A and B are shown apart, each in its own frame.
Chain A
Amino acid sequence: MAVQVLIPTPLQKFTNDQASVSVDASSVDALLQALDVCFPGILGRLCDENGKLRRFLNVYVNSEDIRFLDNQTTALTDGDEVSIVPAVAGG
């Protein structure tokens, strides 16, 4: 199941400057692992030592924040788009 992942600028040094990569994964957790297989070291930036996504990172599946879905166990299907976005302030 191919999923398109949008990579934020600070992480593109892991992905050979690619802003978007394609990986096979059936859940957000599986996607994080799959990313680390393709781009070793990226998992350590995305997650803390317990495997939990860092609290200042937002992950969206097809534009929906995964905290409105099933967090890291959110299921993915073929053609889904996942974006990883660091938190920003504003108003």
Chain B
Amino acid sequence: MTATLSRSTFIGLRCKECGHAYPAGARHVCEDVCFGPLEVVYDYDAIRSRVSRATIEAGPISIWRYRDFLPIEGDPIDVGTGFTPLLKANRLAQRLGLKSLYIKNDGVNMPTLSFKDRVVSVALTRARELGFTTVSCASTGNLANSTAAIAAYAGLECCVFIPSDLELGKVLGTLVYNPTLMAVKGNYDQVNRLCSEVANTYGWGFVNINLRPYYSEGSKTLGYEVIEQLGWQLPDHIVAPLASGSLFTKIRKGFDEFIKVGLVEEKPVRFSGAQAEGCSPIAQAFAEGRDFIKPVKPNTIAKSIAIGNPADGPYAIDIARRTGGSIAAVTDAEIIDGIKLLAETEGVFTETAGGTTIAVLKKLVQQGKIDPEETTVAYITGNGLKTTEAIAASIGEPFLIEAQLDSFNAAWKRSQSQQQATSGHVA
């Protein structure tokens, strides 16, 4: 194994629970001992000797500038994924009463406008290395878009599974790449269960099942990029959405690795997580002081984060507690307000998961759980154009006018009086 991996910095896999070691194949659970999740193990001395701020800055403008921290052996599939904007959100900060707020905007990630492009770029690179010719996933939408698109680019066969009630934009945004798409009559947890059984028999590379240890490592780049974009510094507080909990734990791992190899100075960072009330098993466990998850049946507009049985939930709770963060849930109405607030103040149109994050950010500030002095980063993980149904009934309508100046003048007057009424109402 060591011989074949000599060009890379990763050594193999290890159980996150009991530490049992495995070779770097397509497996995701500790099958010899405890069924805990497997994680990639790296040679950090090798990374330290190879990597500096300068070597990273000279790398490609994508996640592959961090390739020594990613579990691949050969050439990556580079579709320009990553290095998305870190926006200084002054107007939103002012509205919420914060001094230093940033938006990490993965709603403009490439190629499919969500953070999933990071994990899929890594998973499909590894899938190809492991000899898979067909790739697959169970998805709440964004992962399906990304897997289908990057499989198309890489020339891999693709069959993806989604719950049948997804937003039209997410279904269309998968079908256009011409994969085989299975719309399953059931929720995401049921889709996942089916896929586990399919993975058992079909010999495909499932990005979130047998390739999960590699896939999930892609999310670490959301930690690296924020450090680099803050001028090689850690923030004080981050807020991110929680679905399976994987993203949250991998941002933490990204921060920890940069500290470990000396790329950034250590300091405490508080981790806060966002869920929708209609699917909040992690927030409920956090509130009740539990370290185990009671699964729930999702019922929320935030479909992309509607996972009722979150695999990494216990780890997410542990990180939030250990770092002095919080995990909170917000209603669907608050999620819509969150989407509108981010759009109106920062020009960023996010999907329901992003609305959840902004609504929780607002709630935690109001509850005094985010200090106005803290440098805070809110992770926006997806694009609003994919979930237009969610807000269609909650935003304004255009003024329909004739192609004549009179008609415009009258409509302009109406618009001004409407605006006055609205701002008067807000004040």
Contacts and interface: CB of A to CB of B under 8 A. Distances in A.
Contacts of A63: 190, 193
Contacts of A90: 137-140, 143, 188, 192, 208-209, 212, 243-244, 246, 307, 311
Interface stretch (A4-12, A32-40, A72-80): A4-12
Interface of B: 17, 27-29, 31, 33-37, 116, 137-140, 142-143, 188-190, 192-193, 195-197, 199-201, 208-209, 212, 215-216, 243-247, 292, 294-295, 297, 304-305, 307, 309, 311-312, 314
B311 A19 contact: no
Contacts of B312: 89
A82 to B, nearest CB: 12
A9 B189 CA distance: 19
Interface in A45-79: 45, 48, 54-58, 60, 63, 65, 67-68
A88 B212 contact: yes
A91 B193 contact: no
Contacts of A86: 28-29, 35, 196
B35 A91 contact: no
Nearest to B192: A88
Contacts of A68: 295, 297
A65 B295 contact: yes
Contacts of A58: 193, 309
A88 B190 contact: no
B346 to A, nearest CB: 24
A85 B193 contact: yes
Interface of A: 6, 8-11, 19, 45, 48, 54-58, 60, 63, 65, 67-68, 83, 85-91
B216 A87 contact: no
Closest 3 pairs (CB-CB, A-B): A10-B31, A90-B208, A87-B311
A91 B292 contact: no
Contact of B196 (A67, A88, A91): A88
A8 B209 CA distance: 12
A8 B28 CA distance: 12
A36 to B, nearest CB: 16
Contacts of B31: 10-11, 45
B200 A91 contact: no
Contacts of B33: 45
Nearest to A65: B295
Nearest to B142: A91
Residue with the greatest number of chain B CB neighbours at <10 A, chosen from A8, A9, A89: A89
Residue with the greatest number of chain B CB neighbours at <10 A, chosen from A6, A55, A68: A55
Contact of B208 (A6, A57, A83, A88): A88
A10 to B, nearest CB: 3
Contacts of B209: 88, 90
25 contacts: A9-B199, A9-B200, A10-B27, A10-B29, A19-B201, A54-B35, A55-B314, A56-B311, A63-B190, A85-B196, A87-B29, A87-B309, A88-B28, A88-B192, A88-B195, A88-B212, A89-B312, A90-B138, A90-B139, A90-B140, A90-B244, A91-B116, A91-B143, A91-B188, A91-B246
Contacts of B208: 88-91
Contacts of A60: 193
A27 B32 CA distance: 26
Contacts of B295: 65, 67-68
A55 B312 CA distance: 11
B305 A91 contact: yes
A12 to B, nearest CB: 8
B114 to A, nearest CB: 9
Residue with the greatest number of chain B CB neighbours at <10 A, chosen from A11, A56, A86, A88: A88
A87 B304 contact: no
A79 B197 CA distance: 19
B204 to A, nearest CB: 13
B386 to A, nearest CB: 14
Nearest to B244: A89
Given A58-B193, A65-B295, 5 more contacts: A8-B196, A45-B31, A56-B311, A63-B190, A88-B208
Contacts of B244: 89-91
Contacts of B307: 90-91
Contacts of A54: 34-36
